[in-house]
A = this chain, B = another copy of it.
Amino acid sequence: MALIVQKFGGSSVANAERLQNVARIVTAEADKGNNVIVVVSAQGDTTDELIEKAREISPDASARDMDFLLNTGEQISAALLSMLINKMGYRATPLTGWQAGFLTDSNHGRARIRRLNTERLENEIGKNNIVIVTGFQGINRYDDITTLGRGGSDTSAVAIAASLHADKCQIFTDVDGIYTADPRVVPGANKLNSISYDEMLELASLGAQVLHNRSVEMAKKYNVRLEVLSSLENKPGTIVKEVSKMEKMLIKGVAKDDNIARISLVGVRDEPGFAFKVFSLLASLKINVDIILQSIGRDGTKDITFTVAADDVKAAVNALNDAQESIGFAKLAWDDNVSKVSVVGAGMESNPGVAAKMFEALSEANINIHMISTSEIKISVLIDKDLAKNAVNAIHEAFEA
C-alpha cells in the first residue's frame, strides 16, 4: 500500500464537473489500495472575487485580515470535494490548514511553514480515510490564520509528502507536464519526461509558472518524488527527481518571467558596506533580489543595478528612497517594462558554447540585452518586455535546431 499526495489547482476544481473529474482521479488511486491525501486550491476565481470584496471595503486591508478572508476559498473546495467522494461510497475527511497541522511563521500573506504536526493526518490515514486538505494555509503560534502566498498549495502538498514519506506527490494542473518552453509562446515546445530538481528550480523561479520554486526547493531538500500532470488528460506527466549528471540533453528549457523590475542606484559612494546596507534592507522587507550588476568605480562613485519581482518594486523603491541618506546614493531609477528570459539545463557550465548560442540567437532577432546573469545550470538575460516572446522563440529554435 502506497501513500500518494495529489494536489489540484484552482482550475482543476473550478466547478461541479471539474470536481467530479478530480473525485474520479482520487478514487481511482484509492481503488488501487493506496492511501490518498488530496490538497486543493480555491475554486477558479474565488480568491480573486474575495480580494475584490475586500477592496470594496478597504483598499489596503491588513495582510492578517486578508488571510482570514482568503482562507475560506480552499475550505469551500475541500468541503465540496469531500461531499462528492463520500457520495461515491468512499470515506473522505476535509481538513483546514490548522486541522491538518500546518504551523507557520507570522508573515501574513506569505507565511513559511515552520512545522507540520502530522498527528491528525496519520490518524485519518490509519483509518483508511481519503484526506482532503485545504492548501495554501496554516496558523501561526498565536493561533492566527496565515496563508503561504503564491504557490502555497504546491508547498502544502510537498510538505505533507515530505513529512509522511509519501511515495509520490502529484501536482495536477491544466498543462500536461513541464515543457522545453511555454507551449503558449513557443508552438514547437517539447514535453519532458523527467527533469532534475535543480533544473526545475531554475525553470520555476524563472517563471515557468507550473511549479512554484518554494515547493521544488522543499521537494529537493526532502527528496520528494514530484510529478506534474494534467487533471484533464489521463497520461503521464513530467517527473521531477534527482537525476544522474550523465544526462545527454544539454538544454532543458527556455523560460520567460514577466514579473520582474529593474532598480538602479546611481552615484553610490565607492566605499565598503554599501551592498550590505542595500540588500539587508531589502531582506528585512522579505524582498528577494535576483540579478545584481555593479559598475566599475569611477570618480569615487559607482552604479548598482538589480532586479526584484515586479510585485515588490514599489515597496523596494520606497524603502530605498527613505534610506537614501544612510545608504548614500545620488539617484534611484526603476523600470518594470522588462522581462527575464533564461535557458536552463544541467551540464551547461562545462559547455561555453551555450551562452554564445543564446546571445547569437538574440542578436539575430535584433534584441538588445540589458543584463546578463549565469549560474551552473542557467543563463538569464534581461530584455524589453515587448520583445520577450520573440526572444523565447528565437532561443528555442536555436537550441532545437
Contact = CB atoms under 8 A, between A and B. Distances in A.
B94 A65 contact: yes
Interface in A63-88: 65-66, 68-69, 71-72, 75-76, 78-80, 82-84, 86-87
A122 to B, nearest CB: 14
Interface stretch (A50-58, A251-259, A351-359, A369-377): A50-58
Nearest to A79: B69
A341 interface: no
A65 B53 contact: no
Given A62-B86, A96-B145, A143-B99, A54 B72 contact: no
Given A16-B57, A84-B57, A120-B143, A65 B50 contact: no
A82 B53 contact: no
Nearest to A92: B65
A87 B66 CA distance: 13
A381 interface: no
A19 interface: yes
Nearest to A61: B83
A96 B80 CA distance: 20
Contact of A79 (B19, B65, B79): B65
In the complex, which of the residues A71, A76, A79, A98 has the most CB atoms of chain B within 10 Å of its own CB atom? A79
Interface residues of A, number: 35
Contacts of A68: 75, 78-79, 82, 94, 96
Nearest to A75: B72
Contacts of A57: 16, 19, 80, 83-84, 87
Nearest to A77: B69
Nearest to A56: B16
Contacts of A120: 143
B80 A53 contact: yes
Copies in the complex: 2
A94 B78 CA distance: 22
A78 B145 CA distance: 13
Interface majority SS (helix, strand, loop, mixed), chain A: helix
Contact of A54 (B61, B80, B96): B80
B76 A53 contact: yes
A99 B67 CA distance: 14
Contacts of A61: 83, 86-87
A160 to B, nearest CB: 17
Contacts of A56: 16
B75 A71 contact: yes
B83 A62 contact: yes
Nearest to A80: B57
A388 to B, nearest CB: 36
In the complex, which of the residues A80, A86, A120 has the most CB atoms of chain B within 10 Å of its own CB atom? A80
Nearest to A60: B87
Contacts of A53: 76, 80
Interface string A157-192: 000000000000000000000000000000000000
Given A84-B57, A99-B143, A75 B79 contact: no
The 7 nearest A-B residue pairs measured at CB: A69-B79, A72-B72, A61-B83, A58-B83, A58-B87, A68-B79, A65-B83
Interface of A: 16, 19, 50, 53-54, 56-58, 60-62, 65-66, 68-69, 71-72, 75-76, 78-80, 82-84, 86-87, 94, 96, 98-99, 120, 143-145
Given A54-B80, A58-B86, 9 more contacts: A54-B83, A57-B87, A58-B84, A65-B82, A68-B78, A68-B79, A69-B79, A72-B75, A72-B79
